[in-house]
Structure 1
Amino acid sequence: MVVTESLQGSQGGGGRRPSLSARLLGFARNLQSATTFGQLLDVVQRELWEALGYEHAWMFVSDREPVQTLRLLAATGANTQDVWEHAPVLTVAGDAMLEEMLSTDHPQVIEDARTDARTQKPGGRALDSRTIVNVPLRLLDKPFGALGTGTFGEEGPRVPGPEQLDHLIGMAGQISVAASRILYVDGLARAAREKQELERRLMQAQRLESVGMLAGGIAHDFNNLLTVVLSSASLAKMKMEPDVMPEVESVLAAAERGRGLTRQLLAMSHTQRLSLAPIDLNSRLTQLLELLKRVLPESIALDFVRAERLPLVEGDESQLDQVFMNLCVNARDAMPEGGRLRLETEAVVINGRYARIHPWAKAGRFVLVTVCDSGVGMAPEVVERVFEPFFSTKKERAGTGLGLAVAYGIVRQHGGMIQCASTLGAGTTFKVYLPTLERPVSWVKAEAKKAVPMGGERVLVAEDDAAVRDVAVRILESGGYRVVATESGEAACAAAAIEPFDMVLLDVVMPGLTCAETIERLRTLRPELRFLLASGYTAETNVVALLRDDVHAFLRKPYDPEGLLRAVRRVLDGPAHARLPPS
């Protein structure tokens, strides 16, 4: 037989006290001042002690309906630390005590947890609970948590009487109202914080997009200049005496460096043409890491964790190589004293709910590549600017500040996402999400190099930049072609109306008629015409749609004589209306 002490008439403290029903009014007033669950539970504990003689109190709530788990929101009393350690989250399924409590509106009383069958579980034994009193908390007739009190260990069992149970029910009603108020206010504050974060990220994305558009526009003009320099120098080289050849080679080398810079600018603006192919990132990264080992010091350990049966992605191998090489080199520079560099691949699915909560994400199936280092890390204000062009934490002249901006642009152009997380002194992690391959790939591999082909066909050139137009004519004539040059789409159509041509070299961005309109009119005049588009910047026109339709090939600016002559020959020798890989 268990001997228990009843709380009937034994309230904490002596002297004349107000009735329990009168105490509820004061309790309700005290709850109004509580703005956090910690403050709320302090008010509850004081009332439990003064009215009922219980020292301990705890509160559990659920985040969803139906209730599957109960999360400890607050606890107070001598055993607070033990409660947090052994019962931070309670699973309802399979717990007889919790299942019973949530099925009723009345307080649940466990007289002695040491002997009650409903509490024979590891957590209860670790806490050495004795009497347990749980009062369901309800909101709009739906359970959302519980208020608990009771005794532990040597306090022994102490069971509340009927009047005390009625008082607990009254307290539970007031607590439910106060708790719902705090949850509502917390929700508003959380929504405001999330809105602020969304606005911050949106502004950051818009800033990056604006800089990218500027970079693309600069690259467009710069590519026209480089086309003239590269082509003119190459043509001059064919006629130069050996003693002046080094000067021409210097010009060509500088122009090639300029071409590399414009490619970075285009990558940053995610407007460059991609040569798409199926890629196994496990295999590709394995090859890349073999190259990376040559530039990593021995003080940096390299780990690569490969996911099994990783889906393919569709991408441009050289561009994605640049992304991961940039990330790894940055990681190396962040570990001057050595450390660990870890790469990991895995297949992930982002659902719509996650994408709605995280503005940077979009729903779909992705291959995730994580690049993690144990380096010096970055402060939050640095992480926020890490993808901005020309922003760098490296010493002066240690880098261009374009590496991560270029990586951002390349990943975005592949339809993917890139995220950065870092803590000062604890390293940096980059996560690159690339969409899995969902359709057959249409691009084909480039042919092996042969001798520069010559020809004799008639070529119509439409280019608004006079210097580029002049050099294109000189290159084509040096290859044996008969050329007519025009400065606009209208002029090209007028020329085609007078005489026939075998092919049109057409600049993508010109004043007047758009590229698509020019092609349509020329097709009407000369259905047999073949087309070669040339541009250093494709964002202003839907070149991809044109390539899917009639245009036979695309030539990136800046081009040199060999590149132009090869592209022209491929168009003329290819089957009619056949789309060819970009040059």
Structure 2
Amino acid sequence: MKDHDRTNKKFEEELVELVQEISELEISEVKLKREKEDKEKVLVQLIQSVKMAGVENLASGIAHEFNNLLQIMKGHAEFAQRTKKAEDMEEALDIVLKASDKIENLIKDLLAFSRKESFEKVLCDITEPLESVLSLTEEQFKEHNIEVDRKYEKTSAVEINKVEMQRVFLNMVNNARDAMLPMGGNLEVGVKQAGENVEVRFTDTGKGIKEANLRRVFEPFYTTHVEVEKDSWLKGIGLSLSVSYRIVKRHGGMIEVESEIGKGTTFIVKLPAKGEKAEEKREERKEMAKPESKNILIVDDEEEICKMFTKWLSLDGHRVKYALTGRDAIDLIKKDSFNVVFLDLVMPGVPSIEVLEEIKNISPETKVVMITGKLMDKDLLSDLIQKGAIGYLQKPFKIEDIKEIIG
């Protein structure tokens, strides 16, 4: 009997011990889960900090570009206004259009770099996001006695998230610049087709990386620069290559690195090629045929934008009306029939989303295209499409963009 009691007691003790161990394991598991969540939050914040540090570094270069472009436009416009010669006016108009295209790209690139989330992948020429980065950073490179050489070959298109790939290329060129400070040097940026991949190579003439360190360059917080604190340009360098590696890997690609002490380093971004050669695709595009005449309504609180639409579309024989408020737009929809409505996203009075819903209720067959001066939010775009919009135009846009939608 005593043996039986001792056995029961021992069993109870072991059971209690087991329950305690299970409880401790559950507590540990909860702690580990919380720690993991906390680390993930910190990592997301750090990645955003790296991105914003890159934007701050671009500020001086962007200001320089803007001032140059404004000076070019202002100078030629004033000269043409004074001479009043037809050839001077024609030249000034041409220069203003070209300069405004460059300003448009600068603004889009800056907004893209600073945003927290980005859109889906698109098929494009890899030099598009690459050139947007080089155009923003080249002026800074000159200040540091660094020359940029481009060596581009024709390649297939790639399917990428442009915003993320711009971030990768920005990290690559910044890393190359830092490796060549303070003496300066040469950065060669090459693009070529390599089998089923499109390669983008960044070759600097910097100090190089020791062979033992090459395998560690993509580790978070690892840096080959020993004087990070002394140089504000290097803030965030400990994460930039790691972030780039993750982005490229998500795109089904890889980043390789080659280096030799005293001679320099080459980072090679490899991305899967998709479809035909980008250059060939551009050459195949044909001028669109003149579309049939349509009834079009423009809804924007900026009257000059409405007049611009009217002038552009009237040239192709379209019948155009415009409204400066959402309420006026709804009244026009009730009185007349429109094939297409261009609706500004931010309108006084009745919110644009309500105007969109009302238009689709009154005339379900009417196509509604949103227009906006801000970068479109992914969730908002999804909501607009669900409510009946067929898409959106990002200001500033070209007449070809409008024609493509109408056609």
TM normalised by structure 1 equals 0.36
From the two aligned structures, give the one with the greater helix fraction.
Answer: 2
TM normalised by structure 2 equals 0.49
